[in-house]
Chains A and B, each alone.
Chain A
Amino acid sequence: MPDETIIAVLDCLIPGDATGWPAAGQHGLVPRLHELLELLSADGPAQLQTVLSHLPEDFLTLPTDQQTISLQTVESTAPDAFDTVLKACYSAYYTDPGIRRIIEQKTGYEARPPQPLGYEMEPFDESLLEPVRARGPIWRKVP
């Protein structure tokens, strides 16, 4: 199956929107999808083929809403295969450096791993516990 079909599938799964989120297929994630299908699942490549084999032959020429309906059908008829491909698609998208930069621009979540820098947090404010302390013990004493 040519990459165009896989690109179209990815675009249906994560279509992006007008606020600056790109569609997964158009973002160039097909190679990464193949890589992650191998990495994350023992039968990932076969599961992709299963999904593709369930699509109608004219999938590429269908309008987007009809492509989506086709994939919803696959999701119900071949749920395990669909699930594997969807997980790989999300994994490719949300670990992609370009997408991570977009997340940083939109949310302030830095495009870096959690370590070694970590994050700042406020010290715990004990004064909030005054009502809890005032109520007294709530644990049950035993004989």
Chain B
Amino acid sequence: MVQSPDIVIVGAGATGLSFAWRLAKQRPDLKILVLERGGHIDQRQGPSLSDDWELALQREFHANPNIRRNSADYPVDETATPIKPAFFNAVGGSTIRWGAHFPRFRPSDFKVHSLDGVAADWPVSYKTLVPYMDINDSIMGVSGLAGDPGNPPRAERPHPPLGSCAGSLRLAKAANRLGWHWWPADAAINSTDAEPGRDGCNNCGPCGMGCPRHARASADIAYLARAQEAGVTLSTHNVVRKIITKGGAATGVETINSDGRTEEISCKELVLAGNAISTNILLTTMSNWENPLLGKGLMLHPTAIVTGFFAEDLKSYSGPFATSIISQEFYETDPKRKFLRGFQLQALRGQGPLSTALGGYGQRLNWGGGHASAFANAFGKSMSLTVTCEDLPEPENRIEVDTKRQDQFGMPIAKMCYRLGANTRQIRDYGVERASEWLRTAGAERLTVTPLSVQAGFHIMGTATMGSEARSSVTGHDGRVHGIDNLTVIDASVFVTASPVNPTSTLQALALRAADLMGRRLAQT
């Protein structure tokens, strides 16, 4: 363990490791310590090498920490939300458990209030983040195709797009018949062997349980070695359970390690890089600081899933499950519709035999007579479309921290309080109609609709929102907490709005920018 670090970063996930690397490169004189509550996951020996690989998704690789219950997991009260929490506690964070879909927010996502009169504008623009997105793409390893008319022109991806399957080709041709936008999905997955130490994707499919080839990026694969080479120290199995403050500054943290030993670590700057839930818990542990906006405006990506079943054997169990093609036809606000903002349609490939039977993204196959034929008509023959809705920040949707209840680490327990707002429901309902139309046009003979995916609280955004003014936000544009100048939040709790697309590209760009801003600020003191 590094003695008397200058910077302590809580969390070794998507933002913690990227921030640490960037700051260490800019300021090699700083002693940077990253504290991670989980341990390392050896993806080289991942479950997808085992005959029982699908069982891992019900156990140690389940998305929901309340079900997974690995040693580093902490409980989240999910009784007041129809969408359950989904995050992973380990070096690499939730990028261990993701599908690596890697879109960028659009320029309009940062100006929602100016354009649509709801929510607020970000204090950061798309243009400001683009250079950091490009840097991040080069390190994470992104496959995709330039020239998408759905997004501003941007640099070539480090890798060409991933391959096509029969299902995605059907959908692509159908989108052309409908006159809709579609494009190959950006993926934080190397499609080629170009990068030393990482093989190209071999289309195995279940990206969400780690990648033995290291083709699929995760923060540990992409950033950890780089950060350590730059001088960053990582301490694992180290749970931060309290922020220590003195005189309006964060002076350090109290930690508890895996054998129950507690320790106080002092620092000059403290950075929270977990997720909105852990950040809300930790900010609540500070004495003499409060902000009535903390916890408010929780945004998720409510997702409906429409699955189409085809007569043709699509062999849809093969290929990265979440990164084939997308449509952003309905992304922006359209005055002809009944709702503001929009949604993305994202194609999902099929799954393995067990996940097909259990329902996977869709509905479980019926038991009893007809089960065998139902399996035969579903396995390898389905493609699904997610309707990923842009959520608006609403004060009723929130994270509450109950300081009277404690988890196994002696920390307060957070409660997700969430319901679908009226605008979000309208987006979802319209999106289900369009997804159904797309699949039918592609030749699907039968559809099933899952109106709300339950185990899908992957993108936990807002609740410590950034803003230009202290009276209407919790942090500034650089993530620094109003009233505590040496405390910075870089996880998605600072998001002002949610966009309808996956947040990690934008999130990591914000983290890299925050590192640059901190490096410059500290150079002036």
Contacts and interface: CB of A to CB of B under 8 A. Distances in A.
Contacts of A16: 372
A15 B368 contact: yes
B6 interface: no
Contact of A115 (B49, B54, B181, B371): B49
Given A17-B373, A19-B372, A128 B202 contact: no
Nearest to B165: A121
Given A91-B58, A123-B163, A135-B181, A113 B53 contact: yes
A132 B369 contact: no
Nearest to B54: A95
A142 to B, nearest CB: 5
Nearest to A93: B357
Interface of B: 46, 48-55, 58-59, 106-108, 110-111, 114-115, 125-126, 145, 147, 149-152, 160-165, 169, 172-173, 175-176, 179, 181-184, 201-206, 212-213, 313, 315, 317-319, 328-329, 331-333, 352-354, 356-358, 367-369, 371-373, 375-376, 379-380
B318 A119 contact: yes
Interface string A1-34: 0000000000011111101010000000000000
A68 B212 contact: no
Interface residues of A, number: 58
Given A95-B51, A107-B313, A140 B107 contact: yes
Contacts of A116: 49, 202, 212-213
B307 to A, nearest CB: 17
Contacts of B145: 124, 126, 129
12 contacts: A12-B368, A68-B369, A71-B368, A87-B58, A91-B58, A109-B317, A115-B202, A118-B202, A119-B203, A119-B205, A124-B161, A126-B145
A103 interface: yes
Contacts of B319: 119, 121
B55 A133 contact: no
Given A109-B317, A115-B212, A120-B318, 18 more contacts: A13-B368, A89-B367, A90-B358, A94-B54, A109-B315, A112-B51, A115-B48, A116-B49, A117-B202, A118-B201, A118-B204, A119-B204, A120-B203, A121-B319, A124-B145, A124-B161, A128-B176, A143-B114
A122 B160 CA distance: 13
A132 B149 contact: yes
A13 to B, nearest CB: 4
Chain B contact residues: helix, strand, loop or mixed: loop
Contacts of B201: 118
Nearest to B69: A42
A99 B184 CA distance: 35
A39 B60 CA distance: 11
A138 B49 contact: no
A143 B150 contact: no
A119 B205 CA distance: 8
A55 B325 CA distance: 48
B55 A39 contact: yes
A137 interface: yes
B364 to A, nearest CB: 8
B176 A124 contact: no
